[in-house]
Chain A
Amino acid sequence: MKKIYLILIGLLPALSFAQNLTDGLMMSSKKLCTGLLYTHDQWTDYWQGEKKRDNGNIGHVTTQSVAWMGTYGITDKVNVIAMLPYVKTKASAGTLHGMEGIQDLSVGVKYNFFRHKSDKNAFNTFAVINFSTPLSDYTPDFFPLSIGTQTTNLQYRLTAHFKVQQGWFVNGSGGYTWRSNTTLDRPAYFDGNEQYNTDEVKMPNVFDVFVSAGYHKGALQAELNYIQQNTLGGADIRKQDMPFVSNRMNYIKAGVLVMYYLPKPQGLAVRGAVNRTLTGRNVGESTTFTAGALYTINFNKKNL
């Protein structure tokens, strides 16, 4: 098992890159990778339905978050991934009050259920189940400044990862997210299609695709990625209306991600990413920067 892993990730077995629910990487047994990620997301133009526009009453909408994350290898084939962000939003124009708070705790299990390897390449597939739930009582009724949808979600993913010995890889992942309904502070609402005399909002589920390709060898992981999210229902933002929590929020984003293990101290990695929304529906045309530091701790006595 150890030998295979060596072939897979190259020469430095101590370096672990598994972070995401969407990637094809695993932490090996009894290792914990944990750290903080800072994200800065900003948009000026947004899609009101399919029509792109700006809005002088909000200017640029900035969302910043600091997220704690941790990935732990229960075994080489089963990882637990957890994440908890603190999110803060702000509009540069108009009078609307920004929102901030602890958002949703997410805990997922990633299972490497199939492995095929040869001297030249390796192919792995993964199943992921991820549960997330709000940890604070933030409002879902103040988009675009709400920090989340205040829903409990259950996500399923299947991921396939192919890598050649030289370090080049491709990765593809598809996910389906079931979202619970959400509750507003008001007794009735118009969702963009019709009037409901209740505070409960039916939330459409979400489908997403993540594709990446890049180089991953030694201390370096570098990739280009493509992210698509489709909300499976929901109304469009009406002309000059505020967005609504159950809107059909779709987007396609492209991005770059780099992660690098510093020579010293051992186990410390830095990570940076940029994403740009290429097209969307009922979302902002955002540019997102992520920067963070992650540290890997080995609880495996044999390796100490």
Chain B
Amino acid sequence: MITRNLYRITQTAFAAGLLLLASCNKDIEDTEILAPQAPAALDEDAANWAPVDASVMTIEKITGIVENSTPKVFNPPADVSSDAYKTELAAIKDLQKNLTKEQRGVIEYWSGGGVLRWNQIMRGMVARFNLPPEPNAVGAYPAPDAENPFSDPMFPFANPPYAARAYSYVSVAQYEALKAAWHYMYQYNRPAPYKNDSEIKALMPETDLPAYPSPDAVMSGVSVEMLKLLFPVAVEEITKKAAEQRNAALWSGKATASDIAAGLALGKSVANLFIARARGDGMGAAGGNKALWQALVDSCTKRGELAWKSLETPARPPMLPFFGLRKDANKGTKLWSMTDADLVQCRPVPPPFTASAEMKEETEEVKWYSKNLTRERLAIVHKWADGAGTYTPPGHWNDIGAEYIRDAHYSEVRAARAFALINMTLHDAAVACWDTKFYYFNPRPSQMDPSIKTGTGVPNFPAFTSGHSTFSGSAATVLGYLFPQQAQYFLLQATEASYSRMYGAIHYRSDVEMGLKHGQTIGGFTINFATTDGAD
């Protein structure tokens, strides 16, 4: 009897287990939700805000290009009472009658904010391209080639300096393009289609923003051109997203075909100016060559120091050693808010001599963390690891900033300014930190003591100072300026990010502490620009 009951229980348990499985849903939710939102303010005066780099673009310069090119980049808009414009409105009405579920999805997606979406897209793109080249059969590492991006290894290897620069170019170009858009939008004051025709529905949150040229199309044009330069292999995805953004503006009753055409042309014209800057900013020489790598070793050894060496097998050339200041040519990658002289002046004082007792002590401290890698500290290490295959530390700070920018209900142009400021400082931090790293060429803890095991991969460049600390110090400072009520939180996050590198046993205390301070100083230069640009 008992036995029979037992079999029944067993059978019931099997059936219940199956039912339980059927009810389980494994779908995951994106935690960065961008819900449709209207801006809290229109920022009508945005065209007057100071240019980021006046040698690249000012409003005078872009209006000169738009109006003096033959043919013109775009012409003044047709009158809202013209037949041409009415035909455009009729086309929107037709489109709105037959919107598919997929098209509505596209509208919904872009309603969350164009600048925020592009930032999100770019973070995914950086993660996709953030893979170091694989060693070939003879143990060498072929360098990615911008002229041959689809080959193996594909271009780019979106490592932290590359990523910092990429985020900054896209963000700054978007910002300047939107300022140019604001200039013409308020010059022509052509209302959105849904303001001109009551039969056209506003399928995105309604605003009083003028529509010519369409700011969404401006963003699509500038983003597509910048991203094609920086991530040429992703051309298909980039082009598709950009087209979607323009379609969303059209289908939602926000812009007519001519609003969009003018915006697209303006966005591309602005992109051309920043593409020219990027082509000549020194990045092309940042990788160096064998002779230059050897010169770094020799000059370090000559100072009586132990030179950094790659801990990878086979040994890998250092990551972008001349992204910072190049000692031979006395120039590095162009900065946004600092001069080369600022960079030299702010360069951290030297780390302890590799042969000193102080260095020994620091190495022993790292070893202690290696041996005592608690689960709690490992979680901090992994939270901030942001290594290969991720959006990098600059991406992480964009991720952190995105939700504050979203919740501030900024206009597109102000959101673009916020991302531009964050990414300008992250880029400057990358240049300044790489300058420091290759100026001192200091070995990693595991090189000093091979028994030191690490909680994350050892980055393939010198230790002093910590890149994570510098990035985090700079971004937290600028975010603290943008969102003063959260300044303490950003600083705590930056400090945690910084120490995570020591907990993970890949950096000494002086790397992380000096890096964090250096980053905060760099953030100050960006704030100097922000306080005087007329936006606040």
> Which residues of A line the B interface, CB within 8 A?
56-57, 74-75, 77-78, 93-98, 109, 111, 127, 129, 137-139, 141-142, 154, 156, 178, 180-181, 184-190, 194-203, 238-242
Contact = CB atoms under 8 A, between A and B. Distances in A.
B94 to A, nearest CB: 34
Interface in B375-401: 375, 378-380, 382-391, 396, 399
A193 B120 CA distance: 15
Contacts of B127: 190, 195
Contacts of B454: 95-97
Contacts of A95: 311, 446, 452-454, 457-458
Query: 9 tightest A-B contacts by CB?
Result: A56-B313, A195-B124, A190-B127, A197-B32, A97-B453, A185-B382, A185-B379, A240-B134, A95-B454
A202 B26 contact: yes
B24 A178 contact: yes
18 contacts: A57-B312, A95-B446, A95-B453, A95-B458, A97-B505, A139-B375, A142-B382, A178-B21, A180-B24, A184-B382, A185-B378, A185-B380, A186-B383, A197-B31, A197-B32, A239-B134, A240-B134, A241-B131
A78 B6 contact: yes
Given A127-B14, A196-B28, 4 more contacts: A97-B370, A142-B382, A185-B379, A187-B31
B377 to A, nearest CB: 11
Contact of B29 (A127, A154, A198, A203): A198
A117 B232 CA distance: 69
Nearest to B123: A195
Nearest to B451: A95
A137 B375 contact: yes
A188 B123 contact: yes
B7 A77 contact: yes
Contact of A242 (B7, B379, B389): B389
Given A195-B127, A196-B30, A98 B453 contact: yes
Contact of B31 (A129, A178, A198): A198
Nearest to A179: B26
A240 B127 CA distance: 13
B328 interface: no
Interface of B: 3, 6-7, 10-11, 13-14, 17-18, 20-21, 24, 26-32, 120, 123-124, 127-128, 131-135, 153, 311-314, 370, 373, 375, 378-380, 382-391, 396, 399, 446, 452-455, 457-458, 505
Q: Which of A127, A180, A188 has the most CB of B within 10 A?
A: A188
A56 B314 contact: yes
A98 B455 CA distance: 9
A94 B14 contact: no
Contacts of B455: 97
A180 B20 CA distance: 12
Q: Which of A194, A195, A201 has the most CB of B within 10 A?
A: A195
B399 A187 contact: yes
A188 B399 contact: yes
Contact of B120 (A97, A139, A197): A197
Nearest to A181: B26
B28 A238 contact: no
B373 A190 contact: no
B407 to A, nearest CB: 15
A114 to B, nearest CB: 12
Nearest to B120: A197
Contacts of B390: 186, 188-190
A38 B134 CA distance: 36
Given A78-B10, A109-B13, A240 B382 contact: no
Given A139-B375, A185-B382, A197-B32, A190 B7 contact: no
A156 B453 contact: no
Contact of A97 (B312, B313, B373): B373
A139 B382 contact: yes
Contacts of A188: 123, 390-391, 396, 399
Contacts of B20: 154
A197 B133 CA distance: 26
Q: Which of B131, B380, B384 has the most CB of A within 10 A?
A: B131
Contacts of A97: 370, 373, 453-455, 505
Contacts of B386: 186
A181 B26 CA distance: 7
Nearest to A188: B399
Contact of B389 (A142, A154, A190): A190
A220 B77 CA distance: 92
Contact of B131 (A74, A142, A184, A238): A238
A198 B388 contact: no
Contacts of B383: 185-187
Contact of A198 (B28, B133, B135): B28
Contacts of A203: 26
A195 B134 CA distance: 22
A111 B124 CA distance: 48
Contacts of A178: 21, 24
Contacts of B505: 97
Nearest to A98: B453
Contacts of B378: 139, 185
Contacts of A109: 10, 13
Contacts of A242: 387-389, 457
Contact of B132 (A74, A94, A137, A240): A240
Nearest to A51: B134
A74 B6 CA distance: 9
A246 B29 CA distance: 16
Q: Which of A137, A141, A194, A197 has the most CB of B within 10 A?
A: A197
B239 to A, nearest CB: 18
A156 B452 contact: no
Contacts of B314: 56
A14 B360 CA distance: 63
Contacts of A240: 131-134, 388
Nearest to B390: A190
B112 to A, nearest CB: 12
Contacts of A137: 375
B448 to A, nearest CB: 12
Nearest to B315: A56
Q: Which of A95, A190, A197 has the most CB of B within 10 A?
A: A95
Nearest to B153: A239
Contacts of B373: 97
A94 to B, nearest CB: 7
Contacts of A75: 3, 6-7
B28 A202 contact: yes
B151 to A, nearest CB: 13
